[in-house]
Structure 1
Amino acid sequence: MRIIVKDTEQELDMAAALEVTKQVIVKPDSVITFAGGQTTIGLHHEIVHLYQQWGVDYSKMKAFTLDEYVGLSPEDHKSVSFRIRNQVLDHLNIKSEHIHMPDGMAEDLDTACHEYSRLLDKHPVDLEVLGIGTNGHIGFNEPGTAFHLDTHVKDLESRTAEMKAGFFGSAAMVPKQGLTVGIKRIMMSKQILLLAKGESKAEIIKKALYGEITPEIPASVLQLHPFLTVILDKEAAKIL
């Protein structure tokens, strides 16, 4: 485990963007999984900035997204798919056929999950980007999620809905379910980049990185990954 602590959120965003950019420079055909949420907005901005500044070639890269809300289309501005495209992917020279996202509108969600897992079988992930919820969730893998699950549908906790309320106007407007890459699949990634910002994440970061490995804190399983990089601002790292 490699832990990097930055003084500010902006410094964290830049450090994380350098990790992603370095991955693409070293391996142009990298497979990278992107995560939505508040934590990664700055990262996405800095990736685009470095792309424009350095002319990094993303044409061979393949992008996956970590999760999606059930019932939201890729055209819905509140969907994970739309936000990641709008924040980062649409501003890079990545080919549209190289972008893969879970189908939250699928009539048969179990089949959609299976198909997404099979697609990931064909394209092993080189770098998985993750945020962490205050309850320890990664993706939509909520507390209590079994570690052995692959891509699946998960009911979202009220605490998660409260965290996502800013995107939807209120917690009541947040979809009740999410389609998410499972912990088993996350752990199959060659490298993992975990980001956390702010004092509200300090307690869960300490538990996840140094506490008991338990499904009640899904992110705790990341302790077992051989190539985990954690980038924190000083507020998120204050009780480590």
Structure 2
Amino acid sequence: MRIIVKDTEQELDIAAALEVTKQVIVKPDSVLTFAGGQTTIGLHQEIVNLYKQWNVDYSELKAFTLDEYVGLSPEDHKSVSFRIRNQVLNHLNIKSGNIHMPDGMAEDLDKACREYNALLDRHAVDLEILGIGTNGHIGFNEPGTEFHLDTHVKDLASRTAEMKAGFFGSADRVPKQGLTVGIKRIMMSKQILLLAKGKSKAEIIKKAIYGQITPEIPASVLQLHPFLTVMLDKEAAEML
């Protein structure tokens, strides 16, 4: 495990973007999994900045996304798909056919999960980008999620709904379920980059990095990954 602490959020975003950019430069046909949420917005901006400054070629990159809300279309501005496209992918020279996202509008969600797993079976992930919830969730793998699960549909915890309430207008408007890459699949990635910012993440980061490995803190399983990089700002690292 590598733990990297930066003084500010912007320094963290730049350092994380450098990690992603180096991966693409060294292996242009890399497979990356992108994560939504507030934590990765700055990272996405810095990836685009470096792409423009260094003329990085993303044409062979294969991009996956970690999760999606059930019931939201890719055109919905609140969907994970829309935000990741709008924040980063639409600004790179990545081929549209190389972008893969879970289908939260599928009539048969179990089938959609199986199809996404089949895609991932054909594209081993080189770098998995993750944020972490204050309850320790990664993706929509909420506390209590079994480690052996692959892509699946998950009921969102009330704490997650509360954290997303500002974005959706209220907790009641947050979708009740998410379609998410499972912990089993996350752990199959060759490298993992875990990001956390702010005082609100300090306690859970301490538990996830140094605490007991337990499904009650899904991110704790990342301790077992051989190539995990944890990037934190000073506030998120204050309890380490």
TM-score band by shorter chain is: over 0.9
Q: Give the aligned length.
A: 240
Structure 1 partner of 2:91? 91
Matched, 1:162 2:170: no
Q: Cα RMSD (Å) of the superposition?
A: 0.4
Provide Cα deviations, 1:17-55, integer angstroms capped at 9, x if missing partner: 000000000000000000000000000000000001100
Counterpart Cα distance in 2 of 1:67 and 1:146 = 17
Counterpart Cα distance in 2 of 1:166 and 1:68 = 18
Provide Cα deviations, 1:79-115, integer angstroms capped at 9, x if missing partner: 0000000000000000000000000000000000000
Matched, 1:223 2:223: yes
Structure 2 partner of 1:32? 32
Corresponding letter in the other structure for 1:146: E
Counterpart Cα distance in 1 of 2:164 and 2:53 = 32
Structure 1 partner of 2:8? 8
Counterpart Cα distance in 2 of 1:88 and 1:165 = 24
Matched, 1:237 2:231: no
Counterpart Cα distance in 2 of 1:14 and 1:166 = 26
Output the TM-score relative to the length of structure 1.
1.00
Counterpart Cα distance in 1 of 2:146 and 2:228 = 20
Structure 1 partner of 2:144? 144
Corresponding letter in the other structure for 2:50: L
Give the deviation of 1:154 after TM superposition: 0.1
Counterpart Cα distance in 2 of 1:171 and 1:13 = 28
Counterpart Cα distance in 2 of 1:157 and 1:238 = 26
Output the TM-score relative to the length of structure 2.
1.00
Give the deviation of 1:166 after TM superposition: 2.3
Structure 2 partner of 1:67? 67
Counterpart Cα distance in 1 of 2:178 and 2:186 = 16
Structure 2 partner of 1:196? 196
Structure 2 partner of 1:128? 128
Provide Cα deviations, 1:105-156, integer angstroms capped at 9, x if missing partner: 0000000000000100000000000000000000000000000000000000
Give the deviation of 1:8 after TM superposition: 0.2
Counterpart Cα distance in 2 of 1:125 and 1:118 = 13
Runs of 4+ in 1 over 4 A off after TM superposition: none
Corresponding letter in the other structure for 1:54: W
Corresponding letter in the other structure for 2:125: V
Corresponding letter in the other structure for 2:224: L
Counterpart Cα distance in 1 of 2:212 and 2:149 = 20
Task: Give percent identity, aligned residues only.
Answer: 88
Structure 1 partner of 2:173? 173
Structure 2 partner of 1:58? 58
Give the deviation of 1:165 after TM superposition: 1.6
Give the deviation of 1:163 after TM superposition: 1.1
Unaligned runs of 5+ in 2: none
Give the deviation of 1:172 after TM superposition: 1.1
